[in-house]
Amino acid sequence: MLSILILLPLLGAALIAFVPGITPKVSRTVALSVAVISFLWTLVLASQFDLFEVNRQFKEFIPWIDALGLNYQIGIDGLSLPLLILNALLTAIAVYSSDTGISRSRLYYSLLLLLNVGVTGAFLSQDLLLFFLFYELELIPLYLLIAIWGGERRGYAATKFLIYTAVSGILVLASFLGLVWLSGASSFGLEGIQTSSIPLATQILLLAGILIGFGIKMPLVPLHTWLPDAHVEASTPISVLLAGVLLKLGTYGILRFGMYLLPEAWTYLGPWLATWAVISVLYGASCAIAQKDMKKMVAYSSVAHMGYILLGAAAATPLSILGTVMQMISHGLISALLFLLVGIVYKKAGSRDLDVVQGLLNPERGLPLIGSLMVLGVMASAGIPGMVGFISEFVVFRASYEVFPIQTLLSMIGTGLTAAYFLILMSKAFFGRLSEQVTNLPRVYWSDRMPAIVLAVLIVIFGIQPNWLARWTEATTNAMMSGQNPIVNVSFNN
């Protein structure tokens, strides 16, 4: 059942790329159909998912390369299922939101589907080497999507992304190889790796490689500098995928392969990780305040919100890990909404500069509905009650405070800074008199609004009823904190 989520987009990409005579309209239709079917299939899987089963479900195993210990081994649990659904949803939205007249459409849509294959495969993989192969697979499509369809400095941004991500892959692979060899495992299968016999100093070294490797992907300060450039130069659909899904490969990686496989080292480094989280939160929020470009402001907001995820992971209690997963999903929905709306503003007004774009909430000549959705999006990002951003941050702070009270209180300052920089964005871009530079704005059609409305509805629904989100993950996060994982039983005062 799970292989369908990999094979279907792969076949769709091949059909678009290699079948002669495919028109731009047909290529878009095929890509959208494949993306929608994949999303619906994830919902089918969710309907059959056992909420109380802590082991991987729908497992598939095919022997592959015995000499390397590599097998095609996939499955899902409460950690990967929500991310899988989020990836499928945002891929469908990215395809739908792409310009109908985009150049080289066959290449563009095939790359979008290949990107989906890489991310989906990574979330499904239960083999470290298989995860790495999918983790690297998404690198080339995303590089090309930025380099070909990006802005004026797309070459610089794409190359910078490529270099950073290549370093990330090297560190992750080296750590994976060390985990398997030093643990004495016979294969790269996740379930067969036991690290309790590895000396603590060696565990810390392996964990450092995992943290830096996936920290680049998240990204965390000071490994973040590729992200603002990539977002600013990428087209709107690619920014949606980049912020909504691709950053979650990093957060997923530190939970699945760092915290779970190396619990003793994780415990030892926990206070330092919490401090690192504070630095990312405050630095990202401070940089966001200084921005004039709306898109770069939202990009730095992502850097800050990744710090909340690291804080919850560092605390490593069942509740904090549950909050971490909820924060991953909430950030995916909220950041995707914000980038969609900024993209519409840029498309209609021709600028993202806060000194140029003003008064867009004007009901007659502005973008009133887009402005209203932007109000909802920034309120959700700032943690206003009633929206999914509030409950996910609240759970992270509530659980982390018991373990790291000082770091949690400092991180909570970030929520105030989030409100500050988004208030600057709203007051300059949407309130006040409509600026002369953006008069006579083109009409925004419902086809442009619908993806943003869908995301806004989900943000409110999960904010009002967060259990609809948490219930998929709770059993898994509780299991991750028990058994071989001693984190919650270790005193940080030793």
- Separation between Cα atoms, residue 336 and residue 116, nearest integer Å: 16
Tokens linked to 3: 């292989």
Model pLDDT, residue 487: 35
Longest dimension (CA), the chain: 69
Asked whether the whole model's pTM tops 0.85, one would answer yes
Helix orientation angle between 80-97 and 3-18, rounded to the nearest 10 degrees: 20
- Coil vs helix vs strand at 224: coil
- Residues 294, 357 contacting (CB under 8 angstroms): yes
Model pLDDT, residue 439: 67
Model pLDDT, residue 481: 79
Model pLDDT, residue 312: 93
Model pLDDT, residue 21: 83
Taking alpha carbons only, the member of 162, 329, 180, 174 closest to residue 247 is: 329
- Separation between Cα atoms, residue 228 and residue 100, nearest integer Å: 26
- Separation between Cα atoms, residue 470 and residue 82, nearest integer Å: 9
Taking alpha carbons only, the member of 295, 316, 312, 480 closest to residue 396 is: 312
- Residues 366, 441 contacting (CB under 8 angstroms): yes
Model pLDDT, residue 431: 85
pLDDT per residue, tens digit, the chain (494 aa), is: 899 999 999 999 999 999 888 888 999 999 999 999 999 999 999 999 998 888 889 999 998 888 777 889 999 998 999 999 999 999 999 999 998 888 899 999 999 999 999 999 999 999 999 999 999 998 999 999 999 998 889 999 999 999 999 999 999 999 999 999 998 888 888 888 888 888 999 999 999 999 999 999 999 999 999 999 999 999 999 999 999 999 999 999 999 999 989 999 999 999 999 999 999 999 999 999 999 889 999 999 999 999 999 999 999 999 999 999 999 999 999 999 999 999 998 888 888 888 888 888 777 677 888 889 999 999 999 889 989 999 999 999 999 999 999 999 999 999 899 999 999 988 888 887 777 766 677 778 888 889 999 999 999 999 999 998 889 898 888 888 774 333 333 332 33
- Coil vs helix vs strand at 343: helix
Q: Which residue carries 């979008």 as its tokens? A: 112
- Residues 304, 285 contacting (CB under 8 angstroms): yes
Radius of gyration of the chain (CA): 22
- Separation between Cα atoms, residue 332 and residue 169, nearest integer Å: 23
